[in-house]
Structure formats: structure tokens, C-alpha cells
Amino acid sequence: LAKTTQPISMDSYEGQEVNITCSHNNIATNDYITWYQQFPSQGPRFIIQGYKTKVTNEVASLFIPADRKSSTLSLPRVSLSDTAVYYCLVGARGLDSNYQLIWGAGTKLIIKP
Amino acid sequence: KAGVTQTPRYLIKTRGQQVTLSCSPISGHRSVSWYQQTPGQGLQFLFEYFSETQRNKGNFPGRFSGRQFSNSRSEMNVSTLELGDSALYLCASSLSGTPRYNEQFFGPGTRLTVL
């Protein structure tokens, strides 16, 4: 059965680079890996999405190894406003072959001044 | 462009009752997905609709159902409420295709409390 695993929490300081890794076994062959950010009392917000190798946008980078069993979200030069919960999201097929979206448990990132 | 809206924002029900939650996607978005978020189980996928058809469904009992209308607005219904149904219910819309390939835009959620 598909499952994603990510660290429960991480601390860092302003200006540092933060890397959050998500392990995802049984990811569907043609599925993308997506990362979301969530602040308290808000719905998740899209950060970045990728299929393989490396993807970069204006706020983050996503590194995906060839076996696609994990992915690493990289946040460059974090600020206090990056304090939030970060989720990885993948698609996978369950035992009954029903396609499902599987969320990680979330990583609570706390940025200190 | 207005974001995803969900109504009501807060709801209190008692066990055994039923509830209907509403979601209005971003204009032009045809895919709507529903999620349940709890402190213990995190975010869990309920179901996804596209052009009034349910395309994918998560591992929830039949008490959880949904539908999508021709204007892409969606509703989800929970019958015979249980204490464990207390959660934040999130709706997300995407422009087209499936959520796995497209950026999803989330609403603020409906906080359901079952007493």
C-alpha cells in the first residue's frame, strides 16, 4: 500500500537553505510529486511539482532521484514567513487498483531569527 | 479572479445527523477534489470530480458522498455523522485534468464539529 514519510518537524534560521525529504514507495509510474505549504487556518498552497530530476521555480527547487522513491524540497534563504507545514503529495494505486492521492503527514518547519 | 469558496466555514452537528458542505471552484476550473484534515490522520483524499463525474475515490465509507453540478460547483454530504467525522473539510479546484498533474487551489475549509 502506498505511503509517504517525511520528518515531523524541522528548525532552521533566517537566511539558511532548508531541505525537506519525503519518501514515497509505490508511487504510480506516471505520477508527479507535488509539494504544498500550509499556514494555520488556511488551505494548502501549491509550491512546486516535478516528475524526475530537478525542477526550480521562483520559490523552491525539487530534487527527484532516478528511482523516484523520494523527493527533496529545497527552500533557499528562508525567512520567518516560511514557518509553516509542508506536505508532499503523490498518486498511487491501492490494493484494489483504485487511484488515490496520498499526502505525507506534513513537516512543521520553524524558522528562527 | 475569486478563489475557491467554501460554505459554511463552521458547522456544529450532533451524532446521527447529516451534513452538506458546498464548494465553488475558481471560475473556469472543472476539477474539484475534497479532502478531510484531522490532527491524527492528516490530509486524506475523499474524492475527485470532473465534469460532473466522480473520477477517483479515497478509502472512506459510503456515508461520505459528493456530486458536482454543471457549473462545476460541488457538494459533499456526510450522513449518520460520527464523532470521528469532526475535521476540517477542504475543497480544491484545478484547471483541468487530474489533481496529480495540475496545481490545486484550496479553499479555506469548513470546520465540522460533531457533538
**Looking at residue A3, what is its pLDDT?**
79
- A86-111 confidence digits (pLDDT tens): 999 987 766 666 677 888 999 999 99
CB neighbours of B37 closer than 8 A, spacing ≥ 6? B43, B44, B87, B88, B89, B90, B109
Distance of CA A109 to CAs A12, A13, A77, A86, A112, Å? 8, 10, 14, 7, 10
B98 to chain A: which residues are within 8 Å by CB? 91
The residue among A101, A107, A108 with the most chain B CBs within 10 A of its CB, best to mutate, is A101
CB neighbours of B15 closer than 8 A, spacing ≥ 6? B81, B82, B83, B114, B115
| Closest-CA residue to B91 (of B35, B15, B47) | B35
Q: How confident is the model at residue B33 (pLDDT cuts 50, 70, 90)?
A: very high
A36 to chain B: which residues are within 8 Å by CB? 104
The closest CB to that of A101, out of B4, B99, B109, belongs to B99
Judged by CB atoms closer than 8 Å, whether chains meet at A46 and B44 is answered as no
**Looking at residue A28, what is its pLDDT?**
75
> Is it the case that residue B96 has pLDDT exceeding 60?
yes
